[in-house]
Structure 1
Amino acid sequence: MEFIRVSRGVLVLALSFLVANASLVTASDEPWSKYIHSPASRNVSPVGVHSIEGNVSVRNCSSGRQVIRLQAGSRISLDFGVEVGGHVSFNAKSASSSPLSLAYAESPYFVREISDDTGATPGMDWDSAYNITLDDGHAERAVWYHTPSERFRGGFRFLTLNALEDVVVFNVTCEIGFAPNMADLRSGTGYFYAGDADADILNRIWYAGAYTIQTNIAPADTGRWLPQVRPGWAYNATLSVASPALVDGAKRDRAIWPGDLGIQGPIAMMAYGAPGRESVRNSLATLLHYQNATTGMLPFAGPATGSFRSGARSDTYHTWALISMYDYAVWSGDEAWVAEHWASIARGVEYVTARLDAETGLQEQVNENDWARRYTGGFNSALNALNYHALASLATLAGPGEQARSWGQAAARIKRQYNALLWDGATGMYRDNPESGLHAQDGNSLALLYGLAETGAQRAAVSEGLERNWNGIGPRLLRRLWGYLLDEGSGLFTGSTFVEGLAANGSLYYRSERSYKYDAAYTSLAHGWSSGPTTALVTGVLGLRLEEIGGRRWSLRPQLGEQLKSVQAGFETGLGWFEGKVTVGEDGDVEVEVTAPKGTKGRIVFPDAAKGRVRVNGREFRRQPEETVLVMDLEM
């Protein structure tokens, strides 16, 4: 069975003019506040009843609480409305001390008497249901119950109460466990808003991606215990050296994976500011703590994984870790952190440079562990695209000297050889390996993302080639694939977070036999690597990008296209607040407002459609007749 790995978003097209200097916006009274999924409280109640089987009565009291009366053998499934996670508590009254079992589900498709799986098994019944024991069961008075620490449930939308005996239950609550470093879960500083009438789906996609990341900011003591408990689960293992950390999924694996971190990290920092940066910093601290002292290689995964326990290694994930370190430096502006860890970062880079083949200039993929794609090994295109980006980017942090020069030269040679050895002119795409007939999505997408394609004709050919792999679901643009995840697939997904992947037919049988053993209930429905559009809408559509550490240099290259007329977004880095607004009037005039910290330098780039003249803060800019774009350099 084919499957789609949800990963990145798309770019569209537009133009621009104006500059400002302001402070953070607050979302409470803004038009985009309605898209925020984050709960207003850490103690949330179900918003409704999903389903009932057997003899169950539900009474809504004037106080707003729900009183549920279940006879033995019946069950009720409660809906929290969005993905939640943490500890469940309630009051129960029963003659029995063991009147109930609890079952959790992310997907409405798997609402049943047992839970989603956190361990892959062909029977889809690993976790089963959790039998609770009341401290003191009495029919005369209610007893309060709170799930124990090991029964932390990282991600679910639906909670099923199975009545083993007659029981009355009320005050059902989930104590939210994610993002413990945010006193107010709705206080994320980053935002995005497209004001067009038909752009609602883009706003929903941005905030679902942001919320997916928030559910992945995990306390350090909530990792998956290994060996795994069966039946059941235990989520009280240590997953990082500091808390909280950014993990791959809310339900599972609940572990640090550098490949996921490369997508998640920038989103966490963009959407949540300081708390997001802290989660990334703690994740990187964990990877650096376990860096191989001899080789400089960074771990394939964090300690709460079987891969870590078995000593599995990965060339691609090593480089993803380096990219995440660069991203953290850019978003945080924390030069002290860079200086403190520079020796370790440099050793990680030297692990790559020492393995670049003298003849080809590329790295041979020896440690083939990845996200389980097939046909790894050799001079793999994805690995070498990642290496190019890591070397070129980290060379800019090295400052003047031999390190920057040698890393930059190695990156430049990778780019030349990538095009010389991997470019297939007949198909207009990059091969997966020099002698391969496979033109893999990752190697070609990364070539576009990181600027490995040398000409406009190459870039256009690769884009067209990637489109030939698309089907009726995706990944054609944001509205198709991510719109499906939020709308058309509403019977499968949470409606508030993004799934780690799906089968090509749109079902949950992601990866099928590849480690998941055809266990669709194992698939994670709040998985950070699927939130790429949250980045793409800001850096691609609005076009607001950070170019140097902290955003000391930035650029705005809006690409709205004909369908979008109004887009704005803002976020904070360690240097301060950045914000961009682009509005296209009915007469075609385009207004751009930019906010950036004092002392930063920016570049605004207007595409070919920007004819004539543009005025920025009273200064007039003219595009000369021979110019195809208008470029303005600004100092804030």
Structure 2
Amino acid sequence: MRSSWIFLPLVILRVVGAAPFAEYILAPKHRSIYPHEILAVDGDVQNTDALYHSGSSSTKFTGINSSVTLDFGKNIAGTVQFNIDSVTDSDQWLGFTFTESSMWISPYRCDSASSATYDDPLWFHIPSAGYYAAEKKRQRGGFRYMSIWHNSTGSLAIRDVSVNFTASPEMVDPSDYVGYFNSDSEKLNRVWYAGAYTNQLCSMDPAYGNALGIPGTDWYYNATVSTISTPSVFVSTNSLDGTKNGISSLFLLQQPDGRLPWAGVPFTRPGMFPFSFTYHLYSLLDLYYYHLFSGDDAYLLALWDQYKLALSWALQQIDDSDMANVTSTNDWLRSGMGGHNVEANAILYHILDVSISLASAVGDTGLTEHWLSTMQKIKSAVNARLWDPTQNLFYDNDMNQTESAVRPQDGNSWAIVSAIVSADRAAAISTSLMNRWVRPYGAPAPEAGATISLFATGFEIQAHYLAGHAERAVELIEFISLIEGYSTNGSLHYAPYDNDARVSHAHGWATGPTSPLTFYGAGIRLSSANGRTWLIQPMLGGLQRAQAGFQTPLGAFSAAWTSVGGSGVIGNFETPRGSSGTLILPAVDFTPALRGSGGRIDPSNTTSGVYTFTNLPGGMYLVGKA
């Protein structure tokens, strides 16, 4: 029988980390980063080339308003450091300014990392020669361009200007990824690694975070924070410290009634408890993800009673409509959050679903039947009361269902992600969302004005994959940038902000495409903690090839696929010994042949247009043509 199998030429990769694709990794191997090139010079500045070549040569600034703008070639983060070789007098001053966007390049001001319109320069008093370095609280997160402004009479000579890269502090080598992705699309490859790097830029020593309330003058970072975008972090660096720190910081501030805060200290403090219904639910979802990816049973068990209390509070908001009635307004800068909102109720439905899995993990299943019953009621109510059959989209809520009412991107995407809709309705939503795209800029989020929200777009990408339209997910990812948000006309204006200089160009919320490319594109998903059970289901969506891999404490997961005959694939995958799972392949014009260590394996069934292989033990498998 084996002689009748056809395996097209295919390299079986046992990749350890992302080393074979290192050309895409943006993170530096070393902490000292030097400028890439000189972008502009103003006034009397001599030997500027020395600013981006370390060594004994120095650059001389003479007179007031002499300046140089340096380009690091990509967004970085950290503290500036340099050596002064000589000064003509003891009253010399250097100002350093920083910006992510070329729109805000100026020797005299920074873009905004606070609520101020712009931030002032970081000033150094230079009374004598020697080594100078910014304090850690003066680190700057997210900048590509740095200007040096000499604002004194006389002159000074400077050399060895560099930035100490402070992002991703838990990693010895920030470029040492344990996960990887590669395909025949250069854009998708770049997006995957840009998402991974962006999450690194959004991680820092938690004692030195930006609390938004800092002044634009004499700015500093000293708030205790944690930034998380867990699934995309997991598939790339698998550095989950930030996730755990973030979860712990929020559960420490839980109210007696079960509510979790919208944000940690200093936003939440005695006498001030900002709250968001959706953020409350996302905090529960993060604990689920952390446990799924880490298998940290002890941490889950330690928080389990608080988790149940938080979920109980959310369920108490369900009224006689069988939907939660949202009274908080805080959300992701969207408008209209409130009432029987589709986004909030779809997320709540999903939280109940994952809570059943967590309850099983800790051996506390007494509420499972109640949660299942509540899920069914929410599902029926949302579909009956919020659906608009004229546009095949959900209304935002039941308070405004006029022709001009908002049919939100986030809520409709979440309806598919949460599986609160049927397959037919999911496909219809996918089509309606696609028909709203504003090419070449992306998918609009009408719930936030004339806005492209990369946060909401991350959920829409998942929705297209899950609705059976992987080709739409791939096309939408082709539009992606890693900016916080921008206008539907492509301009760098974010409608929820009145200050464009504040918009982040390296935002963790924009990293949504990274994990779906691994989980759905290459098709490697964990079904239980650590991947003790798994699902392999590739969805190439028009790609000719795709491969990915990551690690859990149980071991390495990998898959590599080549497109054959439309939606058909051949390839290989490997999962850890001791695990088990399911393989799902599309039913096409050839019968896929699966071979493992024990020989050929027949599909368990071929219903619903797919070949399904169940109860597969962990190990290496080949998929070819029978």
Q: Report the TM-score range of the alignment, normalised by the length of the smaller protein.
A: 0.7 to 0.9
| Residue aligning to 1:502 | 486
Q: What is the rounded CA distance, in whole Å, between the counterparts of 2:500 and 2:350 in structure 1?
A: 35
**Structure 2 residue aligned with 1:375, among 336, 339, 348?**
336
Q: What is the rounded CA distance, in whole Å, between the counterparts of 1:584 and 1:624 in structure 2?
A: 22
Q: Secondary structure at the match of 1:84?
A: strand
| Residue aligning to 1:119 | 114
Q: Secondary structure at the match of 2:573?
A: strand
CA shift, 1:145, in A, is 0.8
CA shift, 1:228, in A, is 2.2
**Structure 2 residue aligned with 1:333, among 295, 311, 323?**
295
| Residue aligning to 1:152 | 139
Against the structure 1 CA distance between its residues 20 and 311, is the aligned structure 2 distance closer, same or farther, given a 3 Å change threshold? Answer: farther
Verify the 8 A CA contact 2:38 2:48 in the aligned structure 1: no
Verify the 8 A CA contact 2:202 2:507 in the aligned structure 1: yes
CA shift, 1:615, in A, is 2.5
Deviations 1:176-218 (A, max 9, x none): 1111110011112111011x2xx11110000000000011111
| Residue aligning to 1:489 | none
| Residue aligning to 1:393 | 354
Aligned CA-pair RMSD: 2.7
Verify the 8 A CA contact 1:78 1:158 in the aligned structure 2: yes
Deviations 1:530-558 (A, max 9, x none): 01110111112112111112212111111
Task: Please say if 1:461 is aligned against 2:428.
Answer: yes
After alignment, is 61-70 or 18-27 more displaced? 18-27
Q: What is the rounded CA distance, in whole Å, between the counterparts of 1:309 and 1:536 in structure 2?
A: 40
Q: What is the rounded CA distance, in whole Å, between the counterparts of 1:572 and 1:372 in structure 2?
A: 34
Task: Please say if 1:80 is aligned against 2:42.
Answer: no
Verify the 8 A CA contact 2:92 2:156 in the aligned structure 1: no
| Residue aligning to 2:202 | 216
After alignment, is 379-388 or 167-176 more displaced? 167-176
After alignment, is 456-465 or 318-327 more displaced? 456-465
Q: What is the rounded CA distance, in whole Å, between the counterparts of 2:14 and 2:591 in structure 1?
A: 32
Against the structure 1 CA distance between its residues 227 and 623, is the aligned structure 2 distance closer, same or farther, given a 3 Å change threshold? Answer: closer
**Structure 1 residue aligned with 2:234, among 269, 278, 300?**
269
RCO higher in 1 or 2 (8 Å CA, sep ≥ 6)?
Answer: 1
Percent identity (aligned): 29
Ranges in structure 1 where 5+ consecutive residues have no aligned partner: 1-15, 240-244, 248-260, 487-497
**Structure 2 residue aligned with 1:283, among 235, 241, 246?**
246
Against the structure 1 CA distance between its residues 380 and 191, is the aligned structure 2 distance closer, same or farther, given a 3 Å change threshold? Answer: same
Against the structure 1 CA distance between its residues 307 and 151, is the aligned structure 2 distance closer, same or farther, given a 3 Å change threshold? Answer: same
Q: What is the rounded CA distance, in whole Å, between the counterparts of 1:74 and 1:58 in structure 2?
A: 13
Q: What is the rounded CA distance, in whole Å, between the counterparts of 2:561 and 2:95 in structure 1?
A: 53
The alignment of Structure 1 onto Structure 2 pairs a total of residues equal to: 566
| Residue aligning to 1:538 | 518
Q: What is the rounded CA distance, in whole Å, between the counterparts of 2:343 and 2:178 in structure 1?
A: 33
TM-score in terms of structure 2 length:
0.85
Deviations 1:10-53 (A, max 9, x none): xxxxxx9999999761333x1x2100000110111111112222
Verify the 8 A CA contact 1:423 1:430 in the aligned structure 2: yes
Against the structure 1 CA distance between its residues 21 and 601, is the aligned structure 2 distance closer, same or farther, given a 3 Å change threshold? Answer: farther
Verify the 8 A CA contact 2:208 2:221 in the aligned structure 1: yes
Q: What is the rounded CA distance, in whole Å, between the counterparts of 1:355 and 1:587 in structure 2?
A: 47
Against the structure 1 CA distance between its residues 34 and 380, is the aligned structure 2 distance closer, same or farther, given a 3 Å change threshold? Answer: same
Against the structure 1 CA distance between its residues 50 and 402, is the aligned structure 2 distance closer, same or farther, given a 3 Å change threshold? Answer: same
- Alignment-mate amino acid for residue 507 of structure 1: S
Verify the 8 A CA contact 2:115 2:216 in the aligned structure 1: no
**Structure 2 residue aligned with 1:452, among 411, 420, 435?**
420
Q: What is the rounded CA distance, in whole Å, between the counterparts of 2:41 and 2:501 in structure 1?
A: 21
Task: Please say if 1:556 is aligned against 2:536.
Answer: yes
Q: How does 1:289-304 map to 2 (within 5 A)?
A: 289-292=252-255, 294-304=256-266
Deviations 1:433-456 (A, max 9, x none): 1243321111101011121111x3
Deviations 1:299-330 (A, max 9, x none): 10121447998421111110011111111111
Task: Please say if 1:45 is aligned against 2:34.
Answer: yes
- Alignment-mate amino acid for residue 414 of structure 2: L
| Residue aligning to 1:317 | 279
Verify the 8 A CA contact 1:110 1:521 in the aligned structure 2: yes
TM-score in terms of structure 1 length:
0.84
Verify the 8 A CA contact 1:190 1:270 in the aligned structure 2: yes
| Residue aligning to 1:252 | none
- Alignment-mate amino acid for residue 505 of structure 1: N
Q: What is the rounded CA distance, in whole Å, between the counterparts of 2:12 and 2:590 in structure 1?
A: 26
- Alignment-mate amino acid for residue 574 of structure 1: P
| Residue aligning to 2:459 | none
| Residue aligning to 1:163 | 150
- Alignment-mate amino acid for residue 552 of structure 2: T
Q: How does 1:170-189 map to 2 (within 5 A)?
A: 170-189=159-178
**Structure 2 residue aligned with 1:591, among 570, 589, 600?**
570
